[in-house]
Structure 1
Amino acid sequence: MKFKYKAHKPGEEVFIQGEIEAGDKFHLSRQMRDQGLILIAAIPVSNKWFDFSKINELVVTVKLHDLVTFVNNLSAMLSAGLSLSRSLDVLGRQTRNIKFKRVIGELVKSIAEGKSLSVSMFGYPKIFSPVLVAMVAAGEESGNLPQSLKTVGDQMEKTYMLRRKIKGAMTYPGVILTAMLAIGFLMLTFVVPTLVSTFKEFNVQLPLSTRVIIGLSEILSNYWGVFLVSLTITAAVIYRILITIKGRRFIDFLLLHLPFVSGIVKEVNSATMARTLSSLIGTGVNMVESLDITARVLQNSYYKNVVILARDGVQKGDSLSGFFQKEENLFPILVGELTEVGEETGKLPEMLANVATFFENEVEAVTKDMSTIIEPILMIIIGLFVGFFAISIIQPIYSITEAI
Structure 2
Amino acid sequence: MPTYVFKGRNRLNEVVVGERVADNREALRQILRREQVTLTSVKEKGREIGIPKIGGRKKVKSKVLSIFTRQFSVMIDAGLPLVQCLDILGQQQDNKYFQQILMQVRQDVEEGSTLAAAMARHPKVFDQLFTNMVEAGETGGILDLILQRLSTFIEKIVKLKRDVISALIYPSAVILMAIGAIAVIMVVVIPQFQNIFLGLLGPGELLPLPTRIVVGISSFLAGWGGLAILIALIGLVVGIR
What's the TM-score once normalised by structure 1's chain length?
A: 0.41
- Residues 281-325 of structure 1: CA distance to partner in whole angstroms, max 9, x if unpaired? xxxxxxxxxxxxxxxxxxxxxxxxxxxxxxxxxxxxxxxxxxxxx
Q: Equivalents in 1 of 2:197, 2:38: separation in Å?
A: 87
**SS of the counterpart of 1:5?**
strand
Per the alignment, do residues 99 and 16 of structure 1 end up closer, same or farther by CA in structure 2, a change over 3 Å counting? closer
Which residue does 1:4 correspond to in 2?
3
Which residue does 1:94 correspond to in 2?
92
Per the alignment, do residues 198 and 219 of structure 1 end up closer, same or farther by CA in structure 2, a change over 3 Å counting? same
Which residue does 1:263 correspond to in 2?
none
Q: Equivalents in 2 of 1:116, 1:184: separation in Å?
A: 59
What's the TM-score once normalised by structure 2's chain length?
A: 0.64
Which residue does 2:192 correspond to in 1?
195
Which residue does 1:77 correspond to in 2?
75
Per the alignment, do residues 125 and 16 of structure 1 end up closer, same or farther by CA in structure 2, a change over 3 Å counting? closer
Which residue does 2:175 correspond to in 1?
177
Question: Which residue identity lines up with residue 153 of structure 2 in the other structure?
Answer: Q
Which residue does 2:156 correspond to in 1?
158
- CA shift, 1:164, in A, is 3.1
Gapped runs of 5+ residues in structure 2? Answer: 12-21, 26-34, 202-206, 237-241
Question: Which residue identity lines up with residue 174 of structure 1 in the other structure?
Answer: S
Tell whether 2:138 aligns with 1:140: yes
Question: Which residue identity lines up with residue 91 of structure 1 in the other structure?
Answer: L
Q: Equivalents in 1 of 2:156, 2:142: separation in Å?
A: 22
More helix per residue = 1
Q: Equivalents in 1 of 2:209, 2:23: separation in Å?
A: 81
Contact 1:68 1:156 in 2 (8 A): yes
Per the alignment, do residues 57 and 177 of structure 1 end up closer, same or farther by CA in structure 2, a change over 3 Å counting? closer
The sequence identity of aligned pairs, in percent, is 26
Question: Which residue identity lines up with residue 199 of structure 1 in the other structure?
Answer: I
Q: Equivalents in 2 of 1:87, 1:58: separation in Å?
A: 30
**SS of the counterpart of 1:52?**
coil
Alignment of 1:13-162 (within 5 A): 17-18=24-25, 45-46=46-47, 48=49, 51-52=50-51, 59-162=57-160
- Aligned positions, number: 203
- CA shift, 1:148, in A, is 1.4
- CA shift, 1:106, in A, is 1.1
Per the alignment, do residues 140 and 166 of structure 1 end up closer, same or farther by CA in structure 2, a change over 3 Å counting? same
Gapped runs of 5+ residues in structure 1? Answer: 19-32, 236-404
Q: Equivalents in 2 of 1:5, 1:156: separation in Å?
A: 33
